[in-house]
A = this chain, B = another copy of it.
């Protein structure tokens, strides 16, 4: 199966490498920048492309892994072809590709990816959707070669799942970033947080997050909360602390 990747970011990089390991024939990697196209193309033995008109028209599968805001614009410039077009975005409808091709779908891996961190795909939940049952079965077959957890999900539900991911991943990681600013002030290395971070993630494997909640906000210990607000110098972070504490208390009731 000949595959073209449109995009060379975090998802494209991880997905292209995973498919390459499963012996898919990655023929081209398109990216706006030569650097990104070349870097990924090298790893999966493909041709780097930076001009959309040069995208090959005879591949079987076109995988679009792009920033949401440019996806449709790029899709509209791909030379017409009879391959299956698939995008990997959590928050974009299946239909976004419908004006440009007849067979299309979604393969959404529910995970966070970084270019330089290889990841085991086996337990990544992959949610799929397609324009027609034949396309769906092709996408399912590809997804099942990567993961044991493949399921269909319609666009509207996938958008809510993506939103859930923003909280459980992007916002969680931002909490780590803010936490680090306090450690920096007292010259403690970030490593001191790792057992706490690990245990916090581990706890919700065996209890619900509601049951796992601890801390001054849950008890609404105003004494501690006031002292903490006093310790926080940055106004935005003070506001975040207040809002999250109030909401923890509210949701505990």
Show the binding face of A for B, using Cβ within 8 Å.
10, 67-69, 91, 110-114, 117, 119, 123-125, 153, 157, 159-161, 163-180, 182-183, 185-186, 188, 190, 192-201, 203-219, 221-224, 227-228, 231-232, 236-237, 239-241, 243-244, 246-248, 250-251
Decide yes or no: A243 and B236 within 8 Å by CB, A10-B214, A68-B221, A231-B163 being known contacts: yes
Excluding A169-B199, A170-B216, 10 further A-B contacts by CB distance (< 8 Å) are A10-B214, A119-B199, A125-B192, A163-B228, A168-B179, A169-B197, A176-B209, A180-B208, A190-B208, A236-B243
A182: nearest residue on chain B (CB-CB)?
Answer: B164
Residue in contact with A214 in the complex, picked from B112, B153, B243, CB distance below 8 Å: B112
Chain A interface helix/strand/loop/mixed: helix
Minimum Cβ distance to chain B for residue A233 (Å): 11
Q: How far apart are the CA atoms of A9 and B99 in the complex, in Å?
A: 61
A228 to B205, CA, bound (A): 27
Q: Once the chains bind, are A250 and B223 in contact (CB under 8 Å)? A: no
> Residue of B at shortest CB range from A125?
B192
Contact status B248-A240, CB under 8 Å: no
The 8 A-B residue pairs whose C-beta atoms are closest, nearest first, are A170-B215, A176-B209, A201-B201, A164-B182, A167-B179, A168-B179, A177-B209, A157-B186
Q: Which of chain B's residues have a CB closer than 8 A to the CB of A161?
A: 182-183, 186, 188, 192
